[in-house]
Structure formats: C-alpha cells, structure tokens
Amino acid sequence: MDDYLGSIFEKYLHAKKIFKNKEVLRHSYTPKELPHRKEQIEELAHILVPVLRGETPSNVFVYGKTGTGKTVTIKFVTEELKKISEKYNVPVEVIYINCEIVDTQYRVLANIVNHFKEESGIEVPLVGWPTDEVYARLKEVVDSRERFVIIVLDEIDKLVKKSGDDILYSLTRINTELSRAKVSIIGISNDLKFKEYLDARVLSSLSEEEVVFPPYDATQLRDILMQRAKDAFNEGVLDDAVVPLCAALAAREHGDARRALDLLRVAGEIAEREGASKVTERHVWLAQEKIEQDTMEEVIKTLPLHSKVLLHAIVLLDENGELPANTGDVYSIYKSLCDYIDLDPLTQRRISDLINELDMLGVINAKVVSKGRYGRTKEIRLNVTPHKVKKVFSQDDQLRPLLTLNLSRQRRLI
C-alpha cells in the first residue's frame, strides 16, 4: 500500500508543471499594473493626495458590481500612497476590513484598535468589552501621534444591513474628537441601493466623493487575463483559445474579472491534475461546470432555515414527478416538514416571498402563468438536482432528519 501511495505522489510530482505562480490568479493578489482602471486610479489619487500636503482627504464611497476591480484598485492606490508618503515624511496607516467577515460595530472597532496593538500594547478581545470603551480605546491609540489613518470598509453594505449605521456615524465624525491624527473612510459596495439604508447625515459624510467602477467588457477581461497569465503559467502551456474563452464566459457574467480569473485558475488545476501538457478549451468548459456547481452548493448552504425547508418540499415534489407545482401545493408540504422537525411554519404569503427569493438566486424557477378565468398562479420548477440539495442538507443537523422522508409519507401526516 505504501509503495502504491508513493507511486501516486511521484506521478503527480513529476507531471508537467502547468503553473509558475498560481497565487497571481487569486482575488487577493495585487498586481503591479491594473489594466483599464487608469481613470479610477487617477480619481482616487486626486482624492487622497491632500494627505501628502498634511491635509485631511475626503471620505470616499466606491461602488460597482462584483469583479469590477474595486478592492484591488483601492489596495493598489493605498499601497502606492504609503510608499510615496515615506518620501514626504507623512505617516500613513491603512486599515483594510472585510465587512462580510467583520460584520458588527464591536468587531470593526476592535479590529481598528488591534491594528495598533504592537505600538500601543492594547488588544481588544473579540467579545466582552462595552462598545463605548472600545471606541474610547480606538481614539486613544489612533490619536497617540500625528498621522493619517485610512480605514477601508470593504462590503460596507453587509455591515450596515446587519448592524445599522451607528459605526459609520461615529467614524465619519471622529476627527472632531482627535487632536493629532486624522481619519478618512473609504467604503466599498457592490450594492448602490444600500445607501437607502443610511441616515442622511451619515450619507452626506460618507459620500463626500464617489468613484464608480463600470463592468469590464470581453476585450478588457482578455487584457487582464493575458497580463496575469504571463506570471501565473509556465511558457507554452496555454492553448491560444483559452484566455479569449475565459474572458467571453466572464463577460456574460456582467464583466466579472474574479470569475475570469477563477475560470483560468481552475482550468489550469484540472489540466495539471490530468497530467496534461497544455490547458485547452475543454479544461475551461470543465472549470465553468465545476465553479457553477461549487457556487450553487454555497448558495444552498447559506440559505436561512425556512428557505431550506421550503426547498426540500420542492425537492420531494420533484422526486415524485409533481413539478411544476403551484404555491399552495408547495406550502402544504412545507408545513408538514415544519411539523416534523418542530419548527413554527411561516405564513403562505411569506413563503411566496421566499419562493421569489429562491427564484432570484437561480435555485428554482417560479414562473407566473395565466389560468384564464381561474386567475394567475406560479409554476415552480427545480433548477438544481435533488442530489445536490440533499448533499448540502446531509451536513446540516437540523435538516438531516428530513432526508429519510418521501412524499407519500408526508401526505399521510398532512
């Protein structure tokens, strides 16, 4: 057995190496140049240049769809600002916070304080302190010397939707409480509508300047991929059609550069795993299929509990050959499933809203059809395989008991 395992590792170790540096294709990588973002780079540089003159820059709100280069451009510009600030002896600190992960007022404040822990000796625990005390410590550590502190709040809409805008109100006004340091906020969002959640005073402070990132087109995505591919892949391993195909597929997804990079990276991984000497179009199509499967599984995994129970009701109807079904049919099965796991069911009107949400996510298809004099109804179909849904639910302790049920048994319970 040991010899067998050894031979497997040897086979993969000595297979033709596809990648030179795979990290270049990761979302977290900041390249030395950013194709097709010169206008946004110059806008941001113009907004932030007052720092080098010892003046407080405006707060900035940056928005655009996923994969339009917002985060990488902000990181690129702020890194360049830090470099040049040393030449002018202007102390600059940049604090980057991903609000999808750090999504409460307390945790954002704690992250800012802990950024300075080596300098201040103060470290805030992840929970336990009164928020007012954390904010007081934040002012203390930030204001301990003259400097400019730029706080980047990426996916700021996630923070606001979960925790409200109190933290933004505090941070956008913090300079009135500081005597040495100056703070500037850069908020990044995929969702322009999130501004509707903000108090008017917060909005006016946060949106002193706005920078818009439009989607990339297929030609621009091709340029981005060509630039990264030079550093990511060994010479001669990419078929000529691979980069244009990745760019074209990602352009269909509203010009998403992240999707384009993922396609190229996963295609390379599949080719390497096969022991192929070249990455071909076939590997790109396989990568597209794998990414779509992984994405849908993640969507299903992160659904709220009632949406998962609702989805399982639709799966049961599908397995019994009863799709398309209407909202009433789905609701009766959903209610019986709730009873089975001792969950209080939602109203049919609320379930109708959840059906619309599942439709928007692409998990199901809910089409409104006319029944003539009988009015209009929704016809509900499943867009994913029952197997995929059950695979995700099998990892959920609350939902696992439902996997043993079939529709005829449930109907006896209704």
CATH code for the domain in which residue 250 is found: 1.10.8.60
Per-residue pLDDT at 414 exceeds 90: no
336 in Cβ contact with 410 (< 8 Å): yes
pLDDT tens-digit profile of 321-342? 888 888 889 999 999 999 988 8
Percent of the chain with pLDDT over 90: 54
Share of the chain above pLDDT 70, in %: 92
Q: Residue 374 corresponds to which tokens in the numbers above?
A: 């009988």
CA dihedral 358, 362, 367, 368 (to 10 degrees): 50
pLDDT digits (tens, 9 = 90+) for 343-375: 899 999 999 999 988 988 888 888 877 666 666
Nearest-5° Cα angle at 350, 344 to 353: 140
Single-letter amino acid code for the residue at 85: S
Range of the domain at 78: 38-213
Q: Residues 6 or more apart from 404 whose CB is under 8 A from it?
A: none
Query: What residues contact 333, with CB distance under 8 A and at least 6 apart?
Result: 313, 316, 317, 407, 410, 414
> Is position 33 within any domain?
no
Which residue numbers belong to the known binding site for ATP? 68-72, 216, 228
200 and 63 both lie in a single domain: yes
Interior CA angle at 238 toward 233 and 239, to 5°? Answer: 175
Answer yes or no: do 261 and 307 share one domain. no
Tokens 């990414």 appear where?
A: 291
Tens of pLDDT, residue by residue over 6-16, are 566 666 666 66
Same domain, 207 and 221: no
Q: Is the pLDDT of residue 59 over 60?
A: yes
Does the pLDDT value for residue 131 go beyond 60? Answer: yes
Mean residue pLDDT across the chain:
88
**Domain-located, residue 15:** no
Question: Does a structural domain hold residue 237?
Answer: yes
**Is 272 in the same domain as 243?**
yes
- The first and second tokens of residue 85, run together, are 């600030």
Task: Write out pLDDT tens, residues 65-96.
Answer: 989 999 999 999 999 999 999 999 999 999 99
pLDDT of residue 383: 85
Residues 408 and 266 both lie in one domain:
no
Q: Dump pLDDT digits (tens) for 154-195.
A: 999 888 888 888 888 889 889 999 999 999 999 999 887 777
Phi/psi at 148 (5° precision): -110, 130
Report the binding-site residues. Answer: 68-72, 216, 228
The structure tokens listed for 303 are 């659904």
**Do 394 and 352 fall into the same domain?**
yes
Global pTM exceeds 0.75: no
Looking up tokens 């939602």 gives: 346
